[in-house]
Structure 1
C-alpha cells in the first residue's frame, strides 16, 4: 500500500530536476534575409618594390599583408596569404567615393615588381612581365565573378591613397584590363570629340576638382592648383595617359576625365511599327 506514494514522489522529483544545458546553439537555416550584400566591394592592385623572397617575408612576418602575392618567376603564380573571408592590411589610410579605410571592403593583390629607381634623368619605373599580367587577369575575372565586383572597382593603391602612394605605377597596363572587360575605359572617339573644346578653353581648377571627386578620388575642393590636387591629377594621368603624368590639368586630361564622368546618353526608343490592317473574314454563304 506504500508503493503508490513512493512512485508519486519519484515523479515529482523528476519533474523538478533541471534539464542539462545544450552542448551547442541550435540553428534553422531555412530563412534568408533580403537585406545583405557581399563585404568585398573593391580589388586593390599593388607592387611590392622587392623581389619574391623579400616580399614573402614582409607580407608574412609584419603587420602589412595581402590576400594574394603574384610572383615574378618564369611561370608566375599566386601565394594565397590571407583568406578572402578575412581582412588583410594592404590599403592603409585610404578613400574612394563613399568608402574610407578600404581594408575592410577590399581584396589586396601584391605583384612582385621592383617599382622604380631614382636616376639623374628622373624616376625610372620597372615594367611588369606579360606572364604576370596574364595570371592577374585570370584571378581578377574569378574574383569579380564570385563577389560581383562592380565595373570601376578594380583600383590601384595610388588611386585610393594619392597623396602617399605610387603603385602600381605608370607601366602597369590598365588598358589590358579594360580590353579584358574588367574596367571601364574612355572611348577614344568621345575623347577626340571633346578635345578641341578643351583646347580652346581649359576649365577652371574647380572643374577638375569636382570631376575628379565625381570619379571617386579624395581631392581638395578649394579651387586651388595645390600640390594635393596635382598629386591626384598625376594619379589619374598615370592610369589613363601614362605617357605624361606631370599633374598639369591640360586639355587631354580634361577630355579623358569628362568622358569617364559623363554617361553615354541612352538612345531614344524606336517607334513601334504600325499595326497591320485587319482584313475581315468573308461572311459564310447562306444555306
Structure 2
C-alpha cells in the first residue's frame, strides 16, 4: 500500500495489543483542514491514516503507536480504545458539513476502493475479529455519528471487512419499543445490544441511553430507519447481528450478562 507521510505529534505508546479497527469521517470543510488539525499539537487529536476523496492515503501515526482518535468510548466492555485500535479518518463533511440541500455528502467510489485496500492490509497485519470493526458512532453513541448512515458498510462487508450477518426468519409481531417502555422485551433488547458491544445498562426501561444506542445501531445496520425506536425490523436486525457476534466470538464475555438473550 502506497501512502503519503504526514507525521502527527499526537500519539503515545500503546497499553494493549491491536484488536480493533475504528472508522471515522473527518467532519470538516476539507481534507486539508482535517490534516492540519490532526497535525496540530494543540488539537490533541490524530489517526493512523486519512483517506482522501480521490483515493490517496496519508499516514499520520505508525500502527504500533497509540493515535488519539476514539476519545471517551467503549466496546465489548473495553475502554482505552485508542490503545487497542487502528483509527482511519475518511475525508467527508458528514453531518457537520452537509451539502447545500442538507443531504450528506457521498463517499466517492475511488475513496471507498482505497479504504477497502487499506482495511484489508490492516486486517492482514493484526488479529482483529469481525465484530471489532466498528464505527465511531458504535463506540461513542452518546456523542458521535460518524462515519454516518450514508457510509457503505455493505460494500466493506462484501470485501471481508466487518460483520456480514445473515437475516434469519421473520419475527413474530411485536409492538414498537420506545422511550418509557419497560419490561422483559426491553431488557432482552438491552442485553443483546450489550452483548454486541455497546455500553448499555440492562435496566429494563427504554431510557434516553437506550434510545441513543438503538439510534447508533440503526445508523450502522438500518440507515433508512434512523428513529431511535426499536420497531420489528430493528429488533430482527439486532437479533441477526447478535447471532453473528456470538458465532464469531463464542459465548458472550463477562462484559455481557449471562442472561443475555435474543430480543423477541
Q: Do the structures match in fold with TM over 0.5?
A: yes
Q: CA deviation at 1:262?
A: 2.5
Question: Are 1:68 and 2:46 matched, yes or no?
Answer: no
Partner residue in 2 for 1:205: 186
The 2-side partners of 1:58 and 1:186 are apart by 36
Query: Could you say what the CA RMSD is over the residues aligned between the two structures, in angstroms?
Result: 2.2
Is the CA contact (8 Å cut-off) linking 1:198 and 1:255 kept in structure 2? Answer: no
| 5+ residue gaps, structure 2 | 1-15, 178-183, 248-264
Higher Cα radius of gyration: 1
1:48 aligned to 16, 23, 26, which one? 26
Is the CA contact (8 Å cut-off) linking 1:198 and 1:254 kept in structure 2? Answer: no
SS at match of 2:147: coil
| 5+ residue gaps, structure 1 | 1-37, 266-287
Question: Are 1:250 and 2:226 matched, yes or no?
Answer: no
Q: CA deviation at 1:95?
A: 0.3
Q: CA deviation at 1:145?
A: 0.8
* Count of paired positions: 220
The 2-side partners of 1:118 and 1:174 are apart by 21
Q: CA deviation at 1:181?
A: 1.4
TM-score (norm 1): 0.72
Instruction: Map 1:264-275 onto structure 2 (within 5 A).
Output: none
SS at match of 1:40: coil
2:112 aligned to 130, 133, 141, which one? 133
**Residues 158-191 of structure 1: CA deviation (Å, up to 9, x unaligned):** 1000111000010001111111111222213x1x
TM-score (norm 2): 0.78
The 2-side partners of 1:262 and 1:109 are apart by 27
2:208 aligned to 227, 236, 244, which one? 227
The 2-side partners of 1:176 and 1:198 are apart by 31
The 1-side partners of 2:110 and 2:173 are apart by 39
